[in-house]
């Protein structure tokens, strides 16, 4: 039988040793090292050694605890994306491209929560306090009771927060934070991880809600918000195209509410204003019915949003035809082109294909497949769709069409915005919405035949 392996540990700092010594190398204390004896409950584990842990109290799933308290900011678009207001002690990451408007959004949010009576601290690691104050002035928020600090030293920030104990602390940005116990430059993965860990633990320990701002970098997002995502309760991304005023706040993870919820804002000369009716906004630039333009009746989170999908198809001067996509997934476009070719015999070889979701919106819903296919065909055939028609439905590789979820919500939104007909897959529950004529399609071939008179 193998001789049992002895192990020793320090009673002060729990550092572990394979032999006894008088002084603990880890904490420097004398006479604190003792042999771990007979304390293993089960077979000694190879990696943990023979020392036994303490047994935990396990509990039932049933709870009498009240749900965590929430505070509404009054900015309805923000409150919805948070899942119904700010949850106490939660850690929230707000990511986005540099210059998209994160600091503007969070300064407005800070002021809104302060106006609701919360104690709010805003720490800027990027801008001097004078700059933040100037922004506040431009936004008309100078009177808000937000406490401002310009600092990057994490230790000082934590000490300040511990003293102030605000209900909400905003850290702008996590990439500028510097933990002095980590030997690497601010913005590196280990710094970002250490700072996020300290700040989220602080939130859990004290009840302060923490918002971490994170820049997404186009190149691979190293040290960007990705390394923080698993540590926080809620991940929001602030998206938009530079040339467009529309901004979308999207929840991609939320322990306290639905994910995929969106809030829509418009960047104006005086900050972000809420967009109450996003469909009207996204369709506002739409002109007369034209070839290649299709209105997709989509669902974002819990609400329907109509967006225009534009396609342009033209003979390619290049040996390899171009495929350019804005606001949608390039891989999914390739799939739809392949399905159109394989199942309906409509080739796109030798043709450049451009696809654009109007208004700077990004869509990821599979139900956009049919609208995209429709825009591509409409552009290729140079045929406009019948006016006031919305399209939605998922496309499978076989060319079959699958009904989308929440058909009724999509149709109601379309009806509200003056549309009169809808092209959607056959099957599923029949939904009737007054004023909308349904054109159900059995499969892609039927769709191509009926709409474009080809097949």
Specify the residue for token string 């300040």. 160
Cα separation, 24 vs 224, in Å, equals 39
Half-sphere exposure of 361 (CA within 13 A, CB side): 27
Choose the contact partner of 138 out of Mg ion, ligand TYD, none; CB within 5 to 8 A by kind. Answer: ligand TYD
Structure tokens at 240: 């938009």
Q: Does 150 bind ligand TYD (CB under 6 A)?
A: no
CA-based angle 276:279:285, to the nearest 5? 115
Tell whether the torsion through CA atoms of 252, 257, 258 and 260 is positive or negative. negative
Please, which residue, 103 or 234, has the CB nearer to Mg ion?
103
Q: Does 103 bind Mg ion (CB under 5 A)?
A: yes
Using DSSP bridges, classify how beta strands 246-254 and 234-239 pair: parallel, antiparallel or unpaired: antiparallel
Choose the contact partner of 234 out of Mg ion, ligand TYD, none; CB within 5 to 8 A by kind. Answer: none
- What part of residues 62-101 is at the interface with ligand TYD (CB under 6 A)? 96, 98-101
Q: How many residues bind ligand TYD (CB under 6 A)?
A: 15
Q: Minimum distance from CB of 263 to ligand TYD (Å)? A: 15
Which of these segments, 56-64, 102-110, 138-146, 380-388, binds Mg ion (CB under 5 A)?
102-110
Choose the contact partner of 169 out of Mg ion, ligand TYD, none; CB within 5 to 8 A by kind. Answer: none
E strands within 125-261? 146-150, 168-172, 209-215, 234-239, 246-254
What 8-state DSSP symbol labels residue 443? B
Q: Does 267 bind ligand TYD (CB under 6 A)?
A: yes
**Cβ 261 vs Cβ 83: under 8 Å:** yes
Through-space distance between the first and last CA atoms of the chain, rounded to whole angstroms? 79
Cα separation, 367 vs 354, in Å, equals 19
Choose the contact partner of 412 out of Mg ion, ligand TYD, none; CB within 5 to 8 A by kind. Answer: none
Report the residue from 138, 193, 226, 439 that binds ligand TYD according to the rule CB under 6 A. 138
Q: Minimum distance from CB of 239 to Mg ion (Å)? A: 15
Please, which residue, 134 or 338, has the CB nearer to ligand TYD?
134
Which x/- pattern, by CB under 6 A, does the window 229-248 give for ligand TYD? Answer: --------------------
**Cβ 367 vs Cβ 401: under 8 Å:** no
Q: Does 386 bind ligand TYD (CB under 6 A)?
A: no
Binding residues (CB under 6 A) for ligand TYD: these are 96, 98-104, 135, 138-139, 267, 269-271
Binding residues (CB under 5 A) for Mg ion: these are 103
């Amino acid at each position: 039988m193998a001789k049992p392996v002895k192990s020793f540990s320090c009673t002060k700092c729990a550092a572990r040793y394979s032999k006894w010594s008088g002084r603990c190398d880890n904490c420097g204390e004398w006479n604190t090292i003792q042999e771990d004896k007979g304390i293993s409950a089960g077979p000694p584990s190879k990696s943990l050694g023979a020392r036994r842990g303490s047994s935990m109290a396990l509990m039932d799933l049933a709870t009498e605890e009240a749900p965590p308290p929430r505070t509404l900011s009054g900015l309805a678009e923000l409150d919805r994306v948070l899942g119904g207001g700010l949850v106490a002690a939660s850690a929230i990451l707000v990511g986005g491209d540099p210059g998209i408007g994160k600091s503007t959004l969070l300064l407005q949010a800070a002021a809104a929560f302060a106006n609701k009576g919360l104690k709010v601290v805003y720490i800027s690691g990027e801008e001097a306090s004078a700059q933040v104050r100037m922004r506040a002035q431009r936004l008309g928020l100078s009177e808000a009771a937000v406490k401002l600090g310009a600092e990057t030293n994490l230790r000082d920030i934590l000490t300040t927060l511990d003293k102030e104990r605000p209900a909400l602390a905003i850290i702008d940005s996590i990439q500028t934070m510097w933990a002095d116990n980590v030997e690497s430059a601010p913005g590196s993965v280990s710094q970002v991880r250490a700072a996020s860990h300290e700040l989220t633990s602080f939130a859990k320990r004290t009840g302060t809600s923490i918002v971490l701002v994170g820049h997404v970098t186009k190149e691979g997002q190293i040290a960007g918000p990705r390394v923080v995502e698993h540590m926080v309760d809620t991940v929001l991304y602030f998206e938009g195209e530079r040339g467009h005023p529309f901004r979308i706040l999207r929840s991609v993870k939320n322990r306290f509410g639905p994910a995929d919820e969106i809030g829509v804002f418009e960047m104006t000369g005086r900050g972000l204003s809420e967009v109450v009716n996003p469909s009207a906004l996204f369709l506002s630039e739409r002109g007369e019915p034209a070839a290649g333009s299709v209105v997709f009746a989509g669902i974002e989170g819990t609400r329907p949003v109509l967006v225009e999908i534009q396609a342009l198809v033209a003979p390619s001067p290049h040996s390899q035809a171009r495929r350019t996509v804005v606001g949608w997934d390039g891989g999914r476009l390739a799939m739809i082109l392949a399905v159109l070719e394989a199942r309906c015999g409509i080739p796109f070889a030798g043709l450049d294909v451009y696809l654009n979701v109007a208004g700077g919106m990004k869509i990821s819903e599979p139900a956009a497949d049919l609208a995209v296919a429709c825009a591509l065909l409409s552009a290729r055939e140079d045929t406009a769709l019948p006016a006031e028609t919305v399209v939605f439905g998922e496309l499978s590789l076989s060319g079959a069409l699958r009904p989308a979820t929440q058909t009724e919500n999509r149709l109601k939104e379309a009806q509200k915005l003056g549309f009169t007909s809808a092209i959607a897959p056959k099957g599923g529950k029949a939904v009737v919405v007054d004023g909308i004529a349904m054109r159900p399609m059995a499969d892609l071939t039927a769709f191509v035949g009926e709409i474009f008179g080809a097949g």
